[in-house]
Structure 1
Amino acid sequence: MRRAGLVVAEGLQAMQDAAVVGMTTAELDEVGREVLRRAGASSNFLGYGAEYGTPFNGVACISVNEELVHGMPGSRVLDEGDVVSVDFGAVVGGWHGDAARTFILGTGAAEDETLIEVTRGSMWAGIAATRDGGRVNDVSRAIEDFVLAQPRRYGTLREYTGHGIGTEMHMEPDVPNYARRRPTPRLGVGMTICIEPMLTLGLHQTSICEDDWTVVSRDGSRGAHWEHTVAITPKGLWVLTAPDGGEAELTARGVDFGPLGD
């Protein structure tokens, strides 16, 4: 999974670096495809959902502005100031990696920049709350508390959550971005989960576009999405999709960094 995670990290950086005004989201998706080809990895996104209806047509979900998650790559053209969320995955040796990031193309509005940083910060708050013997709700509450502590209100998507990951991309348990008033699964050594808050500048209600995939905000507000794949090891936490394994961010938060032969 660490090998898959490093491919994911490379792909996300490559797509962010390649994004320019005038490029279509399909062209940006091709950058991710090339990273997978070079690494000898396969995509866990391409063709996903075929058994339920419309298969996903890309190796990355590329969501722009009011598109919050699961953006289907296509003819949409990127423009100056766009808020671009890229969710990317890879499979190496049957094991999955999955992560997401949001960036602004060129110069953006201050409120968009803050939205991105708050979403990223809430993800790391959730990661820092992940521990052996804890519960999923510890992660969810940490994300929620971080968002609620901000000076302005943000919408937190409720229908879409983090998840377990391993030999499949989506596994138990679900990892919501808000606390629940009921018992939640216990966490333990050997578990790998994706922590992925999705926030908007407005309300949390969403709709799905005609492509059966792209999720947009009903009020037209912009959104941001951050995600990492995290492993609980006997020594601490290992962020499998971060190039440094999460060492810098974990250490800054007083959390044990626990790689296994990294």
Structure 2
Amino acid sequence: MVERVTLYRAPTTEADADAVAEWLRGRVDDGVAVDVRGRFLSLYADERIAEDFARARVLSPYERETGNEMLGIVRYEERALENPERAGGVVYDGLAVQAALGERLPDGESGLDHLHVPLLDRVVGTWGDHDGRWHKRVNVLGQPAPVSVPGLYEAPAKPEAYYKEQQKRALLSGGPPPREVLESEVEGDFLVADDPRTTDALKGYVLQAYHYLETGEAFCERGACRLANPHRQPGVVEAQLREPEFCETHAGRYG
């Protein structure tokens, strides 16, 4: 049984860990403590963690092998740890990142009774054996349970109109248009980088981590539920930002 949940801030992002924690306190079982700490990678980083992130780098969307430990890559990861606002454009193996963070949990806090949920400013993914490619993810369930803030914008697919406009502009200009242009001109339900709805949308993904350790259930198969894991942005908006918050099955516990 989970007795404590600790969230970790991602100060370079739009995510408000304190607001998520306050919402979570109203959903978890009585007696479960919820607290917030600073950035995980600032609190518990050591001299080896840059190499761990270098090894977790996804090299190609269609290659299972990960990792590049060239000196320049390790130096990049060291700089990204010190100045996270300068990092970006890299996808990491979410399970490898989860393992690296798990190795650095404080002594006596690694049991399943104390869930750790680091909000990360990194993009994580998992390998799909079914189609032989990497897929970006918003969260990785388990202990700890990293939640990728940029993954909220990048992992779920955007509306079809977004990709059609992207192709049209690429044909006209000879290259893909800036993301900001597409986001401002394409109508539809999708989240964008630094979206003011980020904190509200992340609440359900954090609750999913608690729900998984507490019940063993990964995701809800119904679309209109905070515990759902939609693969498209309109589904994320429906699940995380619209009423009702939970399906009939989970409303009794969390509603």
- TM-score computed with the length of structure 2 as normaliser: 0.23
More strand by share: 1
Larger radius of gyration: 2
